[in-house]
Structures are given as structure tokens and as C-alpha cells.
Amino acid sequence: MYWLWERKESGYRIIQSMLLLLLSGAVVVCGRNGQQIPEETVKEQMVIWCYYETDAQRQAMDDLTAGFNAVSEQYAIRWEYVPMTDFSKRLSMGYTENSLPDLVLMDNPDMPYYMKTGMLADITDLENQLRIREDYYSVLLGTVYDEGKLYGLPLNCNNVALFYRKDILREAGIEPPTDWESFAKAVNRLSNGEQYGFLMSAISGEQGAFQIMPWILSAGEDIHGIGGESTVRSYEYLYDLIISGGMDANCINYSQNDVARKFISGDTVMMENGPWTLPMLEEAGISYGIVPLPADGKQQVVVGGENICVLRGKNTEGAKEFIKYCAADDVMKDFCTRTSVLPTKMTLGDSENEKMQVFRRQMASAVLRTENKHWNVLRDRLSEGMYEMLSAEKTASQVADELSEINIK
């Protein structure tokens, strides 16, 4: 290319034109007859953080991002795994070090805190297009709105129910229990030293609180009034299940997926868990059924799920395009079906999977945890209370008193 040096002025123009083409993201090559053939435009890259662990969840995220990349001409996205236990820490570090992703898939009870921090981008301009107020479960609106502004897309939702081994209950002549009295009797009958009658997750943090709360609500407590006599009764009830040998005391160390594995292995006959465990159970090939949790006066659960949020200062426009893609009926339904959770759109609620129907029906009365403004403190104390009772540090009344004090601050 010595001619570039020989014809300096012309060369500068050629180089300048090449640089402009490269900066615009378009590359042009020449065909046999000298015609210009544009190559594929270089896409703007985005990242979304997610804490999904199961094979079904990971494959669904792979396909969700690949689907977007296939139809988007301007943007491309990949997902990165961040453990749920490290999620808040990583977000704080990312904010400090300016290394945040473009989007996050966030556990919906974490939303109120992050909406207040200013880390999330306001996407209210998408409100009408997404039809958030018209098409989505109303209980979920509190997870994406703050002071009238929209900060995320509710992607999926869930709750918990009672799973039971059909073969073992049938052999024991026990019907799936519907109230606390019959449930305690069944749990004790099914426990024999080699297996427990029931298991739940009471681990510290959100997972344990998510599973403890339905028992407190069932006993008659209100989400705003945790710490009354109904709270005492529910703690005493769960404590008695452990002391009688009906439930493993290690429930305070088990995650929800740990509990599912114990159920599959036969270590427990019944468990409290959510629909996301269905792929694990189906793969194991065990015979099981699902019914609402036993009630003591009323049957009520708290709603779980995840929202997609855009981080401020990142690729906001590209992130919005990804959100619009995820909100499409066919995309949302496929993703939720494959991850065994419920779509957040009421119009997509009729799942073909019969085992999902219990969870879908419970959405009508499900409660939002963060309606209690002290939830970020309460969630840790709920599970810690179980630990303190098992270690003989406190009674159920003392645990309830502490929860009540948090509520009135």
C-alpha cells in the first residue's frame, strides 16, 4: 500500500473514511465485481445478572438471551451467574467500583430497597406499552412501583404449597392433611427414625422467611401485625414438629432446593416448597402430589417471584428493548413454563401443567411481604427465631415479642 504514502492527501481521506465506518459499527467488503457488500453490524453488548441454579433455570436463561440476540439488530445480551447469597453484596460492590451490569433479575422482595437507593432506572415511559396496571397481578405492582414511577418488569411469580409422596401416604392410609391437627398427626405417623414426615426451609434470610410466613398468616396474623398471639402459636407448632421427631432440626440450615433433594431421596415424605422444584421432581421420576399448606383458620401464602430491572447509567435503551422482548406473551409464557413458575400476566395464568394449578389459585389471596415496611429486618429475625428456640435461647413468646417490637418502631 505504498501509494498511500505517495498520495498523502488522498490517503488521509481514505483512512478517515475507514475510521468513520469502523466507528459506526459497519464493515464493508468488496465482492468479485467490486460491489460493496455490508457485513453484520457490530452489536452493543449488554449483561444481566441472575442467581438461577437449576439446570432448567440455566437453560431457560440461555435460550431467553439467545432468542433476544437472534431478533435484535442493535443489541446483544449475555447472562452471568451471581449466587443469591452474594447478590446484594455484589450489587453494592459493583456500584462502588462502577462495574454494574446493564440489568438484573431481582427477587421481588428486594425491590423496595433498591428502588429507594437510586440504583434502578426509571422506565415509566414503558408503562402503557407494557400494560403493567391492566394485565399483571395487582399484588405484584408494589414490587415495581415507587411513588408512581415504574422500576421493573414483573417476569414471574410463585408461592409455596405442600408436596407429598403419593405412594407413601397411600401405603400408610393417610389422606393429604388440610388442617394443623391432622397434619401434625400425619407427620408423626410418617416419621420412623429413617425418614421425617415433613421438611421445610427455615434458613436465615429470604428463603426461610418465605416458608415461615404462611404458617404465621394461617394462624390468623396480619402481614402488618407480625408478633401477636398467632405468631406465638405458629412458632410453637413448628417447634413441636421438630421436638417430636417429625421434622429435621437441620431445617434451619437447608435451602429450598436442599429440601427438594431430601424429598427426592426419601428422607422426608412431605415438604413445603414452590413450583420451581417441579423439573427436579419430574426428572427423579417419583410419585408426588401437591395441595395447599394445612390451614389453622385460613389458608394464605406470600407471593414470590422475580423482576427484571435496568441499572441507572448503563445501556438504558438497549435494556428497555430486552424488557419489551421479555414482556411478549409467547416469550414470557415459554420462559415461565420452562422454569416452572407462574407468568405475571393474569391472561397467561391457565397453565397446561395440572401441578401448577394449586399455585395459580393461591395467587388470588397471596400477600406481598414488603407491604410490611419493616420486612428487611423481619425476614432475618423470622428464621433466627427458630434457631433461638431450638438452641433453648428463647421461647416462642420472646421471639414474638421481638418481632412485635420491630413492627412498632
CA distance 227 to 221: 8
Q: What is the pLDDT of residue 53?
A: 86
Residue 146: CA count within 13 A, CB half-sphere: 19
H helices then E strands: how many in the chain?
Answer: 18, 14
Identity at 344, one-letter amino acid code: T
The full set of domains in the chain, from first to last, is 3-38 (no CATH), 44-158+305-360 (3.40.190.10), 161-301+373-407 (3.40.190.10)
Q: Which residues contact 334 (CB under 8 A, 6 or more apart)?
A: none
CA distance 243 to 161: 23
Per-residue confidence of the chain (409 residues) as pLDDT tens digits? Answer: 333 333 334 443 333 444 333 334 444 434 434 445 455 579 999 999 999 988 889 999 999 999 999 999 999 999 999 998 899 999 999 999 999 999 999 999 999 999 999 999 999 999 999 999 999 999 999 999 999 999 999 999 999 999 999 999 999 999 999 999 999 999 999 999 889 999 999 999 899 999 999 999 999 999 998 999 999 999 999 999 999 999 999 999 999 999 999 999 999 999 999 999 999 999 999 999 999 999 998 889 999 999 999 999 999 999 999 999 999 999 999 999 999 999 999 988 666 788 999 999 999 999 999 999 999 899 999 999 999 999 999 999 999 999 999 987 6
CB atoms within 10 A of CB 229: 12
Residue 377: CA count within 13 A, CB half-sphere: 12
- Answer positive or negative: Cα dihedral of 230, 277, 204, 141: negative
Grid coordinates of 60: 431457560
CA distance 77 to 151: 20
Following DSSP, what letter does each residue of 101-117 receive, concatenated?
A: -SEEEEEGGGHHHHHHH
pLDDT one-digit tens code per residue, 333-357: 999 999 999 999 998 866 678 899 9
Classify 175 in phi/psi space as left (phi over 0), alpha (psi -120 to 50) or beta. beta
Grid coordinates of 314: 448503563
| Contact in structure between 304 and 210 (CB atoms under 8 Å) | yes
Residues in the chain, overall count = 409
Q: Which residues contact 75 (CB under 8 A, 6 or more apart)?
A: 43, 44, 45, 46, 68, 315, 318, 321, 322
CA distance 108 to 112: 8
